[in-house]
Structure 1
Amino acid sequence: MNSIILLSVLGLGNLFLGFLRSNRLLLPAAMLMLALVFGINLIDWNEGAQPFFNDMLVIDNFSVAFTGVVVLTTFLLLPFSQKYVRDGQANLAEYYSLLLFSLVGAVMMVAYNHLLMLFVGIETLSIAMYVLAGSDKRNLRSNEAALKYFLMGSFTTGILLFGIALVYGATGTFQLSQISFAVQNPINDSLQPMLYIGMLLMLVGMGFKVSAAPFHFWTPDVYEGTPTFFAAFMSTVVKAAGFAAFLKLMVQVFPAASAQGVWLPTLTAMCALTLLIGNVGAVAQTSVKRMLAYSSVSHAGYLLIGLVAFNGQLEGASANGIFFYSLAYSVATVAAFGVLKLVADQRQREDYNGLNGLAKTNPLLAFVMTVAMLSLAGIPLTGGFFGKFFIFSAAVENGYIGLVVFAVVMSMVSIYYYLRPIIAMYMRNTDVTTDEPIHVTSFQSAALFLLALLTMVLGVLPGLLSGIL
């Protein structure tokens, strides 16, 4: 709860900093605010479940852990907004405040105990992202991305809300524990079809928020048109919060329905389709940014395996696997988007050729990008390897061996498109337009080094965080 209050107050305070007309103050101020929120959030660790707003919001270890992931991810992402500072971006204060307000929605999504609080959290997060997707107003691709995201997001929000309404109609409550009891002990069998349809509609709405197939079609176009800095936020923070909310819905609300074969088959099919479309789609891309968009879809598939294999509690192997995977994926993705943004800002290219010869001109950028690609591919000694290992282990323990074999095959496919940037950076020569070193500030270099270090630490010492839930 302290995190929500702080983020809201600091977001408003950051807007007033914009009146100073000095962008140089905004970046350190925003990072200081996030560091403060991260520290305050940790105070609630092991304090037990703390209910707020008539038990609509519950702060426990689960919510503290995922709040830490989204806040840390945003903190590590902010250094790559320095170009906005240097260029004197007039709306920088508003951008940072929108990020802080969107984090309020993310915290609500990981701490909700009431379906209406889930809806409020999703909308708080989504509305800020609709604005940020179209923040480059002079770019037609950014305008198109914002329009697509807004229209499709609004439509699926309506589907999610209709699903919540049907679940309420069948159970008579929005409270998670009471819905779970009503699902396991139905009073009127005639209301069961309404409940199942509501569950399916909620599955569609949540699937859109986490870019799961077949509700992923917006992802490549929106990521490509959205400014790279905000696309990175969308790919990490939104996905981590979305899966935390999805996990709560799966574990606390519909475990009985899963056992009855209502929810689980649909989720399993969605998982396999997401893995297939995400990995095969990424192979065909020539733009690194679109490749990362399809990569985001594929990683939603791996995280869905954790949902399929859940063991009925928020402190089990699946929850720990999803937490560790979300952290490892977020760190590696921020690193990849950070390098891509620095390259695109100077070379004005987002395709693989824009990375040609980067190892010669900027060894640090090439090294960080390599570590990020290897982690996303799940190569040993990186956080991504153990993220997949924990997810796959939980699935095998629960008997989903076929799904894990399919996921391993898709992981092998992913190696192809994750190696393409590495080949471009180390094995191809620069051309006339890409032979100058990329300008990287010492602040950004430190952030890149920290991201690479975190990725490798998670791969060498996974036990530090693998079982904290």
Structure 2
Amino acid sequence: MLPLVLLSVFGIVNLFLGFLRSNRVLMPFVLVVLALVFGLNLLDWNHAGSITGLFDSPYISQMLTVDNYSVAFSGIVLLTALVLLPFSRSYVAAGEPNLAEYYSLLLFSLVGAIMMVSYNHLIMLFVGIEILSISMYCLAGSDKRNVRSNEAALKYFLQGAFATGILLFGMALLYGATGTFQLSELAAAIAAPANQTLQPMLYVGVLMMVIGIGFKVSAAPFHFWTPDVYEGTPTFFTAFMSTVVKTAGFAAFLKLLVVALPAASPVWLPTIAAMCVLTLLLGNIGAAVQSSAKRMLAYSSVSHAGYLLLGLVAGQGKLSGPAAQGIFFYSLAYSIATVAAFGVLKLVADQRQREDYAGLAGLGRTNPLLAFVLTVAMLSLGGIPLTGGFFGKFFIFTAVAPVNIWLVVFAVVMSMVGIYYYLRPVIAMYLRPAEPGVPQTPIVVDSFQSITLVILAALTLILGILPGFLSGLL
């Protein structure tokens, strides 16, 4: 799997580039690497197979697979990283001495994300989660002079360690009940009549794995770390965390439930449904009462985990079914809009030193482009028609409706709550007067960042106008 190899190698090469003590070469290098890996990933489309050629060992072969499902979700995480990178220009301009390390950690985290969407063996799932998580622990505390960043890293690490322990215990119980970590063999062993005597061990293992992965994707009631960690982490890395981690987490979650645990659905299906309701409720209500735009986006990320959990409820089929299609489209639309929102917020926070709604006041007059892009992003996250977010919700709802119509009704009600808090930044930008002490000079945006913002807004609108272009991709 060439993308994994290249990301690993270039991540190490980038560390050596840091010895040049010149940040100007780092961003172009990483951009070229990401563009190259993204293109090579697309070349694997319709070339399904397992990773057997790299190693001649029965213990390693068949642990990772390349198929359209893995290529599609790998494409989302690589594209997200590619369009997010221009918003790290402030680190370049400030001469950040650790920039090479930051970029390398991002490349290594993408290795973990790709492993999570390509795994065919529970050990590979665990390795992918840990590579991604450890990189995020480090990046959450990257602003060492900021107490909030240190607090975010400590909370994320400690709670993540507990969640990892629960996940591993669940894997051990599954292995004890079935004797295998291979996904297809797990499915056959769980469905076998001879396994009925081990059902208690099996079901506890399934629930513990659901809890462990639920933490990684910010699903309630395992979401308590999310607002504080997102708020304390530097905004650039928060955007990466809320998009790449969530996309990889739900792709791995869906594969686990659909491929390995379909016969255990009487156990995990009610649990996922309950988590979905709780996540939608706490995420939307929590976002509605925030005064900080960044903290609002943190709770918003929790609410979007609830909508993606809806897709898992409907995911009792193949990885190419309506549920997988809905999760793929939703993840893409959500990632693009979230990068745009955090990108604008980072530019405002860097120059106005404010992350609340007051910092956005007057932006419609001083920076029409930033205001327009943030408006498009908020409308997409709120699920307004003619944006990608609308069809993301539409595909998820239509997949779930035949399974549980009441969950769809509840999700629609929660979407209405979401419209309220997504319109608050728009109102602040266009209608709210500036508060005393908040600078009203135009935000400086370089041409590269402006082009990226225009591309993100255009992609959001294209997904809302021509959804059929990608809706049947898987």
Query: How does the TM-score come out when normalised to structure 2?
Result: 0.97
Structure 2 CA distance for aligned equivalents of residues 145 and 399 of structure 1: 38
> What is the CA distance between 1:429 and its match in structure 2?
2.3
Residue equivalent to 1:288: 293
Q: In the alignment, does 2:360 pair up with 1:352?
A: no
Residue equivalent to 1:39: 39
Which of the numbers 409, 412, 421 marks the counterpart of 2:416? 412
Structure 2 CA distance for aligned equivalents of residues 48 and 200 of structure 1: 31
Q: In the alignment, does 2:70 pair up with 1:66?
A: no
Structure 2 CA distance for aligned equivalents of residues 455 and 173 of structure 1: 42
Residue equivalent to 2:405: 401
Residue equivalent to 2:248: 241
SS at match of 2:28: helix
Which of the numbers 230, 236, 249 marks the counterpart of 1:229? 236
Structure 2 CA distance for aligned equivalents of residues 383 and 466 of structure 1: 11
Q: In the alignment, does 2:170 pair up with 1:163?
A: yes
Structure 1 CA distance for aligned equivalents of residues 50 and 211 of structure 2: 30
Residue equivalent to 1:10: 10
Residue equivalent to 2:206: 199
Residue equivalent to 1:322: 327
SS at match of 2:471: coil
Q: Which residue type is aligned with residue 41 of structure 2? A: N
Q: Structure 1, residues 287-337: CA drift from partner, whole Å, max 9, x if none?
A: 001100000000000000000011410001100100000000000000000
Residue equivalent to 2:120: 113
Q: In the alignment, does 2:380 pair up with 1:375?
A: yes
Q: In the alignment, does 2:436 pair up with 1:429?
A: no
Task: Check whether the contact 2:189–2:195 (CA below 8 A) recurs between aligned residues.
Answer: no
Number of aligned positions between the proteins: 466
Q: Which residue type is aligned with residue 198 of structure 2? A: L
Task: Check whether the contact 2:50–2:63 (CA below 8 A) recurs between aligned residues.
Answer: no
Structure 1 CA distance for aligned equivalents of residues 195 and 240 of structure 2: 44
Residue equivalent to 2:143: 136
Q: Structure 1, residues 68-96: CA drift from partner, whole Å, max 9, x if none?
A: 00000000000000000000000000000
Task: Check whether the contact 2:235–2:346 (CA below 8 A) recurs between aligned residues.
Answer: yes
Structure 2 CA distance for aligned equivalents of residues 262 and 323 of structure 1: 25
Q: Which residue type is aligned with residue 67 of structure 1? A: S
SS at match of 1:262: helix
Task: Check whether the contact 1:356–1:434 (CA below 8 A) recurs between aligned residues.
Answer: no
Task: Check whether the contact 1:355–1:424 (CA below 8 A) recurs between aligned residues.
Answer: yes
Residue equivalent to 1:95: 102
Structure 1 CA distance for aligned equivalents of residues 76 and 454 of structure 2: 19
Which of the numbers 459, 462, 466 marks the counterpart of 2:467? 462
Task: Check whether the contact 1:142–1:227 (CA below 8 A) recurs between aligned residues.
Answer: yes
Residue equivalent to 1:445: 450
SS at match of 2:65: strand
Task: Check whether the contact 1:171–1:183 (CA below 8 A) recurs between aligned residues.
Answer: yes
Q: In the alignment, does 2:220 pair up with 1:218?
A: no
Q: In the alignment, does 2:19 pair up with 1:19?
A: yes
Structure 2 CA distance for aligned equivalents of residues 188 and 96 of structure 1: 47
Task: Check whether the contact 1:378–1:386 (CA below 8 A) recurs between aligned residues.
Answer: yes
Structure 1 CA distance for aligned equivalents of residues 387 and 352 of structure 2: 29
Structure 1 CA distance for aligned equivalents of residues 346 and 110 of structure 2: 22
Task: Check whether the contact 2:48–2:65 (CA below 8 A) recurs between aligned residues.
Answer: no
Q: Which residue type is aligned with residue 393 of structure 2? A: K
Q: Structure 1, residues 155-181: CA drift from partner, whole Å, max 9, x if none?
A: 100000000000000000000000000
> What is the CA distance between 1:433 and its match in structure 2?
2.2
Q: Which residue type is aligned with residue 408 of structure 1? A: V
Which of the numbers 313, 316, 340 marks the counterpart of 2:318? 313
Structure 2 CA distance for aligned equivalents of residues 188 and 381 of structure 1: 50
Residue equivalent to 2:56: none
> What is the CA distance between 1:186 and its match in structure 2?
4.0
Structure 2 CA distance for aligned equivalents of residues 87 and 284 of structure 1: 35
SS at match of 1:240: helix
Q: Structure 1, residues 171-230: CA drift from partner, whole Å, max 9, x if none?
A: 000000000001100424321100000000000000000000000000000000000000
Identity of aligned residues (%): 72
**Which runs of 5 or more structure 2 residues have no equivalent in the other structure?**
53-59
Q: In the alignment, does 2:83 pair up with 1:82?
A: no
Structure 1 CA distance for aligned equivalents of residues 220 and 321 of structure 2: 26
Residue equivalent to 2:29: 29
4+ aligned runs moved over 6 Å, structure 1: none
Structure 2 CA distance for aligned equivalents of residues 408 and 189 of structure 1: 39
SS at match of 2:194: coil
Task: Check whether the contact 2:74–2:114 (CA below 8 A) recurs between aligned residues.
Answer: yes
Task: Check whether the contact 2:166–2:211 (CA below 8 A) recurs between aligned residues.
Answer: yes
Task: Check whether the contact 1:311–1:317 (CA below 8 A) recurs between aligned residues.
Answer: no
Residue equivalent to 1:173: 180
Closer, same or farther in 2 for the Cα pair 1:460/1:67, shift >3 Å?
same
Which of the numbers 274, 283, 287 marks the counterpart of 2:279? 274
Q: In the alignment, does 2:256 pair up with 1:256?
A: no
Structure 1 CA distance for aligned equivalents of residues 74 and 51 of structure 2: 16
**Which runs of 5 or more structure 1 residues have no equivalent in the other structure?**
none
Which of the numbers 148, 159, 182 marks the counterpart of 2:155? 148
